[in-house]
Amino acid sequence: MATRIKCRALTVLGVLALAAVAWAQSGTSFIEGTAVGQDGKPLVGAMVKIERTDVKGNYQVKTDKKGKWFHAGLPLGASFTIHLLVGDREVDAVQGIKTKMDGTSGIALQEKGASAAAAAPNESGRAMSAAEKAELDKKLKEREQAMAKNKALNDAFTAGMAALTAKQYDEAITQLTKGTELDATQHVVWAQLAAACVEGSASKTGADQAAMLNKGLEAYGKAIELKPDDPAYHNNYGLALARAKKIPEAQAELKKAAEIDPAGAGRYYYNLGALLVNSGQMDAAAEAFKKVIEVDPNYADAHYQYGIFLLSKASTDASGKVTPVPGTREEFLKYLELQPTGQFADAAKGMLASTESTVDTQYVSPEAAAAAAKKKAAKKK
């Protein structure tokens, strides 16, 4: 009688960890630096304007007697441009400053020469006419209104992000929706609103879930309309579309993300495959993992996941012998070549062993086995 080896049940495609949407960090931080004049000496009493660039927001601080300046309470992870003003003239600016957990220090500002237009004589000594005063009052009022609106937008965005980080999705949606109403041109607000809706929809059911998910899809569309060259937006939109089971549209968005960011193409397609696994769409997931391997042959986890899919297609003959489809073993071997001690290394070895074993296809019910044992014991008496 042939020896039959019982191999452990194969987990065809286990739940994968999906790449999380990149939330903005919550909390506050500070920015500090120094300012010097054209002569290299500390610039005293100059205005430093800290302009937020991811959403609208402005902060101001003056330099001290040593030319130093410091501003705390700034949103953590936000982006800024730092302007140095002497009087009403901007004399220097530094772009691309981002607040960090431990603060941002060492921002050096230096007064540059004034432009010819700025240096030209003015008529400040002459009394303003009624028309000039009215125009000035109008501009001041507009500036005050703009600053109030910017503060309201910043407050709504900060509150929305804090709620999103705490997974209080309904509150996050309320605050971020308010942000889009205050200024519909801020792509980052639309993107975070989309994230809140998509993540929040998971806790809903029926029509409520569909409505929230659709709102998220619309918000991603707005973000991409405003900033079409952001691969993360296309990636996250693609994953949201996959949740909505709009697979062709999801694949198109992931492809767009890969075109914009070729270096990250493997990650984008792997994200899609993971999401499809979690939603039970195995054949579509396998195509996504194949695409990962196509664009990045050294993406180890994709080889493992595709190998698992191929193993699910193995056949078992009457004797219980497992016959995997062509290419199955090669995928597991490739994974082990790339990641010999990786997270799936032991599982890959187990999968390889299972392809060389025989499955016991005979079934004996517990009741029948007990009856046979009892009968056998009676004969011995």
For residue range 14-29, what is the model confidence (pLDDT) as tens digits? 334 333 333 334 456 7
Whether the pLDDT of residue 4 is over 70: the answer is no
For residue range 98-137, what is the model confidence (pLDDT) as tens digits? 887 667 888 889 887 543 333 333 444 456 677 766 776 6
Specify if 199 maps to a domain. Answer: no
Among 57-61, 166-170, 289-293, the minimum mean pLDDT is found in 57-61
Spatial distance between the Cα atoms of 311 and 329, rounded to a whole number of angstroms:
9
Q: Is the pTM of this model over 0.75?
A: no
| Nearest of 284, 302, 313 to residue 10 by alpha carbon | 313
Residues 43 and 35 sit within 8 Å (Cβ to Cβ): yes
Asked which of 58, 91, 112 is the last residue of a domain, the reply is 112
Residues 151 and 57 sit within 8 Å (Cβ to Cβ): yes
Asked which of 93, 112, 131 is the last residue of a domain, the reply is 112
Specify if 345 maps to a domain. Answer: yes
Spatial distance between the Cα atoms of 29 and 94, rounded to a whole number of angstroms:
18
- What percent of the chain is predicted at pLDDT more than 70? 77
What's the pLDDT score for residue 41? 87
Specify if 337 maps to a domain. Answer: yes
Q: Report the pLDDT averaged over residues 313-336.
A: 86
What's 76's domain CATH number? 2.60.40.1120
What's the pLDDT score for residue 91? 87
What's the pLDDT score for residue 281? 83
Q: Report the pLDDT averaged over residues 129-148.
A: 69
Tokens 């899809």, residue? 217
Cα 376 vs. chain centroid, distance in angstroms? 66
What's the pLDDT score for residue 320? 73
The model's confidence at residue 175, banded by pLDDT at 50, 70 and 90, is: very high
What's the pLDDT score for residue 274? 85
The model's confidence at residue 216, banded by pLDDT at 50, 70 and 90, is: very high
For residue range 343-361, what is the model confidence (pLDDT) as tens digits? 999 999 988 888 775 444 3
Whether the pLDDT of residue 292 is over 60: the answer is yes
The model's confidence at residue 371, banded by pLDDT at 50, 70 and 90, is: low
Residues 253 and 237 sit within 8 Å (Cβ to Cβ): yes
Specify if 23 maps to a domain. Answer: no
Whether the pLDDT of residue 60 is over 80: the answer is yes
Which helix (H) or strand (E) segment is 33 a member of? strand 28-36
DSSP letter at 107?
E
Specify if 283 maps to a domain. Answer: no
For residue range 228-261, what is the model confidence (pLDDT) as tens digits? 999 999 999 998 998 898 988 988 898 899 889 9
What's the pLDDT score for residue 174? 96
Those residues with Cβ within 8 angstroms of residue 36's Cβ, 6 or more apart along the chain or in another chain: 42, 43, 67, 108, 109, 110, 111
Whether the pLDDT of residue 196 is over 60: the answer is yes
Specify if 86 maps to a domain. Answer: yes
- What percent of the chain is predicted at pLDDT more than 90? 34
Tell me how many domains the chain contains: 2
Specify if 369 maps to a domain. Answer: no
The model's confidence at residue 71, banded by pLDDT at 50, 70 and 90, is: confident
375/102: higher pLDDT: 102
Exposed/middle/buried for 198, CB within 10 Å: 0-12, 13-18, 19+? Answer: buried
The model's confidence at residue 322, banded by pLDDT at 50, 70 and 90, is: confident
What's the pLDDT score for residue 286? 92
Cα 313 vs. chain centroid, distance in angstroms? 34
Asked which of 61, 78, 112 is the last residue of a domain, the reply is 112
Q: Report the pLDDT averaged over residues 182-208.
A: 92
What's the pLDDT score for residue 362? 44
What's the pLDDT score for residue 373? 55
Q: Report the pLDDT averaged over residues 364-368.
A: 52
Whether the pLDDT of residue 372 is over 90: the answer is no
Those residues with Cβ within 8 angstroms of residue 258's Cβ, 6 or more apart along the chain or in another chain: 231, 264, 265, 268, 269, 295
Pairing of strands 79-86, 28-36: unpaired
What's the pLDDT score for residue 169? 95
Residues 18 and 275 sit within 8 Å (Cβ to Cβ): yes
What's the pLDDT score for residue 6? 33
Q: Report the pLDDT averaged over residues 356-370.
A: 50
Domain span including residue 347: 297-359
What's the pLDDT score for residue 7? 35
What's the pLDDT score for residue 103? 76
